[in-house]
Amino acid sequence: MRLAREGADVAFTWVQDEARAREVAARIEAAGRKALPLRADAADAGDAAGAVEWAADALGRLDVLVNNVGAGVLGPLESLSSRTWTGSSR
């Protein structure tokens, strides 16, 4: 919401809770900004890349990209493979 309050249009992904995604989109729109919710799993490289492309196309450009993914894997980031991320989210 802070990005919307600061004047940004906001694209975001969601995986499980469509009702919550609609609620967030409505709050962004109530702040006078565009809201672009997209169902995509950030643990899936294709979904993540597609979401970024979709947002850039829909908004004309991206000024800020925030990656916020929850996972239960411990270890140095550089030692984790894409398979680790995929397995941890399902």
Please tell me the predicted confidence (pLDDT) of residue 89. 47
Domain boundaries, the chain: 2-88
Round to whole Å and give the CA distance between 49 and 45.
Answer: 6
75: left (phi over 0), alpha (psi -120 to 50) or beta: left
| pTM > 0.85: yes or no | no
| Residue bearing the bigger pLDDT, 78 or 28 | 28
Burial of 3 (0-12, 13-18, 19+ CB in 10 A): middle
Report the CATH fold assignment for 2-88.
Answer: Rossmann fold (3.40.50)
pLDDT digits (tens, 9 = 90+) for 1-37: 899 999 999 999 999 899 999 999 999 999 999 999 9
